[in-house]
């Protein structure tokens, strides 16, 4: 049975993602099911990527391709493969009219009648691919603002994160999980490989207001531009918090979502504006964090209210349990 509790959806654990999406669709009037189909397309592509990640090591898909992506980082073979899989699924599906990806310089216009735009990091945590450590996919969905049937423009993509209609991530970890929100709470589905289905495992996820885990690349502390971060790290140590940093943001974020904690990527000498990308990394996770009762800022403003000015714009990021993020903000004031 479906009921709305404080605008949150209550559906039984064990329901498949397809059924879940259909039921949510039924709760909303005037929907044509396009967003539902788009989410299904992303889920399907993620199963293909999951299969490929699981084969890594057995077939020749590890290592880099010898070229750099839009941000000047080494592209891994699996980065490129994942980008191809998701872009193909989105263009064939027809609900998305365009995409921006970490792996591609500009935007891709599918020239179709779709009304949604997708911003995606096809495989986040590239440095972990070769060493069998969790990686993820992050996606953010917006509605185009220019009329359907006309060429897409930069303005379509340069909408702040409050305009997202859905966002999510897939974590390829000890099990594979699809976590997403459409603004009615956060839901996680675990992949049941023998069935080939994502099954609801965590309903209406909520993040603890305060946790005891901090996730940061502390090895870079000499190059942090804001000394307030060091003050916050001293506080974490005084409290005997646990330091946990995998180097795949999706995995670090997911753990903090489940247990309570905070993820930090401040400005450094190498990345004076922060390392992480606003449109396809930070906005999506910020939407999820807020839906789960957490918080996401760049230290001064809400991530979701930052006005994008370029496709691969970077930002500093402090995201996780609300009180922990607020304390960081106090330290770096
Ligand atoms: P990527 O998109 O090139 O994989 O970079 C993003 C990743 C995050 O997943 C991770 O938290 C961070 O970069 C790690 O960076 P660092 O090695 O500087 O700590
Ligand atoms: Mg990334």
261-281 residue pLDDT tens? 999 999 999 999 999 999 999
Pocket test for ligand 1, best of 53, 265, 268, 278 (most atoms within 8 A of CB): 265
Contact indicator for 137, 46 with CB cutoff of 8 Å: yes
Q: Does domain 213-332 have CATH number 3.40.190.80?
A: yes
Domain 17-202 and domain 213-332 have a common topology: no
The pLDDT value given to residue 61: 59
Which residue has its alpha carbon closest to ligand 1 atom 12?
247
pLDDT in tens, 295-304: 999 999 999 9
Tokens of 12: 């039984």
Nearest ligand to residue 250 Cα? 1
* Tokens of residue 295, six digits: 């918080």
pLDDT greater than 50 at residue 4? no
Ligand 1 within 6 A of CB of 74? no
What is the pLDDT averaged over residues 186-192?
A: 97
State whether the beta carbon of 79 lies less than 6 angstroms from ligand 1: no
| CB count in 10 Å sphere of residue 327 | 16
Could you tell me how far CA 172 lies from the centroid of its own chain?
13
Q: Are 95 and 114 within 8 A, CB to CB?
A: yes
User: What pLDDT does residue 70 have?
Assistant: 64
Ligand 2: centre distance to CA 65 (Å): 17
**Better-predicted residue by pLDDT, 78 or 202:** 202
Domain-wise residue ranges, the chain: 17-202, 213-332
Cβ–Cβ < 8 Å for 163, 303 = no
Mean pLDDT of 76-86: 89
C-alpha of residue 46 to centroid of ligand 1, in Å: 20
Nearest residue (by CA) to ligand 1, atom 15, is 247
Q: Among 217, 220, 251, 279, which is best to mutate for testing ligand 1, by the most ligand atoms less than 8 A from CB?
A: 217
For residue 68, the tally of other CB atoms under 10 A from its CB is 11
Return the percent helix, strand and coil in the chain, to nearest 5.
Answer: 35, 30, 35
Higher pLDDT, 63 or 157: 157
Alpha-carbon distance of 66 to 64, in angstroms, equals 6
Task: Give the right CATH number for 17-202 from 3.30.540.10, 1.20.1600.10, 3.40.630.30, 3.50.30.10.
Answer: 3.30.540.10
């Amino acid at each position: 049975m479906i009921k709305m509790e404080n605008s949150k959806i209550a559906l039984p654990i064990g329901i498949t993602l397809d059924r879940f999406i259909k039921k949510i669709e039924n709760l909303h009037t005037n929907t044509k099911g396009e967003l539902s189909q788009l989410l299904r397309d992303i889920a399907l592509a993620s199963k293909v990527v999951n299969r490929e990640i699981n084969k890594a090591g057995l077939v020749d898909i590890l290592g880099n391709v010898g070229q750099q992506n839009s941000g000047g980082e080494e592209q891994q073979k699996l980065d490129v493969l994942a980008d191809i899989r998701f872009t193909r699924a989105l263009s064939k599906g027809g609900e998305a009219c365009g995409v921006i990806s970490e792996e591609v310089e500009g935007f891709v216009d599918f020239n179709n009648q779709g009304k949604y735009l997708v911003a995606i990091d096809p495989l986040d945590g590239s440095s972990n691919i070769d060493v069998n450590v969790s990686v993820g996919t992050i996606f953010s969905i917006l509605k185009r603002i220019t009329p359907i049937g006309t060429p897409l423009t930069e303005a379509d993509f340069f909408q702040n994160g409050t305009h997202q209609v859905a966002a999510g991530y897939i974590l390829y970890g000890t099990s594979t999980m699809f976590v997403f929100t459409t603004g009615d709470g956060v839901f996680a589905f675990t992949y049941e490989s023998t069935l080939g289905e994502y099954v609801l495992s965590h309903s209406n996820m909520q993040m603890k207001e305060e946790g005891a885990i901090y996730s940061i690349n502390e090895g870079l502390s000499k190059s942090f531009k804001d000394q307030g971060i060091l003050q916050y790290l001293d506080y974490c140590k005084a409290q005997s918090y646990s330091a946990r940093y995998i180097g795949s943001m999706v995995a670090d974020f997911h753990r903090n979502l489940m247990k309570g904690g905070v993820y930090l990527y401040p400005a450094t000498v190498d990345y004076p504006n922060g390392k992480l990308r606003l449109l396809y990394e930070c906005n999506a996770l910020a939407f999820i964090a807020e839906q789960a009762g957490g918080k996401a800022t760049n230290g001064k403003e809400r991530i979701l209210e930052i006005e994008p000015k370029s496709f691969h714009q970077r930002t500093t990021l402090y995201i996780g349990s609300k009180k922990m993020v607020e304390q960081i903000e106090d330290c770096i004031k």
